Amino acid sequence: MYVCGGIIPELNGARVRLRAMAPADAQALLEIWSHPRVAPWLNAPPLASVEEAASLIVLLARWAAEEESLRWSILGPEGEVIGSCGYNYWQLQGAYRGEIGFELSPAAMGMGYMREALELVLEFGFGTMGLNRIEALCHPDNLRAERLLEGLGFRQEGLLRQYRHTASGYQDVQIYSLLCGEGAQNLRT
């Protein structure tokens, strides 16, 4: 079990710390999740209040306790919440694969924080969880996420046509993957 007794493991990097989301994170995460530079890329309906963000945090914690999802708050150098990341799902038996998701405050973009956070998430997935393949889905116009994934060694495998349904209609996504043997050479570089 990766979330032992409902406790999400803390992961520490040189400049970021990943810890379980807390109700106190609701305001900061709402501001990130609803920001015009972040919200269009999320595969979720927009949140309208701190209460909705707090409810989502509770739901994500429940899913983590049930080992259906695993999400961390990303804390910056001063201990402030600057984003979130984690596993949207994983499957061990047979597939040994998982899918990551991530978002960062625009104020923290371009500083390498998300790369460092995802390196921790990937190391945890390959090392602790025993995953062989980690996937990420990315909107074709999300060039920042595309560059980050490719910089971490992910390979684009193709376009999933009309994969998601959003308020504006069906949406294509690109699928990226990183295999365990590929991951070790790209992390912490």
pLDDT in tens, 30-54: 898 888 888 888 877 778 888 989 9
> What amino acid is encoded at 136 in this protein?
A
Residue 55 lies in a domain: yes
Chain Cα centroid distance, residue 95:
20
pLDDT-above-90 percentage for the chain: 62
Closest by Cα among 189, 93, 175 to 134: 175
Q: Is position 145 within any domain?
A: no
pLDDT of residue 1: 41
SS3 108: helix
CATH code of residue 38: 3.40.630.30
The arithmetic mean of pLDDT across residues 124-135, rounded, is: 94
Do 157 and 123 contact (CB within 8 A), yes or no? Answer: no
Query: Would you say residue 29 lies in a domain?
Result: yes
pLDDT per residue as tens digits for the range 132-170: 999 999 999 999 999 999 999 999 999 999 998 877 788
Q: What is the DSSP-derived secondary structure letter of residue 82?
A: E
Report if residue 71 sits inside a domain.
yes
Q: How would you classify the pairing of strands 11-12 and 17-20?
A: antiparallel
pTM above 0.95, yes or no: no
Residue 76 lies in a domain: yes
Q: Domains in the chain: how many in total? A: 1
Task: Specify if 140 maps to a domain.
Answer: no
pLDDT at 6 over 70: no
Residue 65 has what pLDDT? Answer: 82
Tokens linked to 172:
């294509």
Cα gap 172→128, rounded to integer Å: 32
- Reported confidence tier of residue 2, pLDDT bands at 50, 70, 90: low
Range of the domain at 102: 11-132
> Residue 89 pLDDT more than 70?
yes
Q: Please tell me which residue, 2 or 163, carries the higher pLDDT value.
A: 163
Give kind and range of the element (H or E) at residue 81. strand 81-91
- In 3D space, the residue among 82, 63, 111 whose CA is nearest the CA of residue 19 turns out to be 82
Q: What is the pLDDT of residue 20?
A: 93
Is 50 inside a domain boundary?
yes
Q: What H or E segment, with its residue span, contains residue 20? A: strand 17-20
Residue 169: strand pairing partners: 166
Residue 183 forms part of a structural domain: no
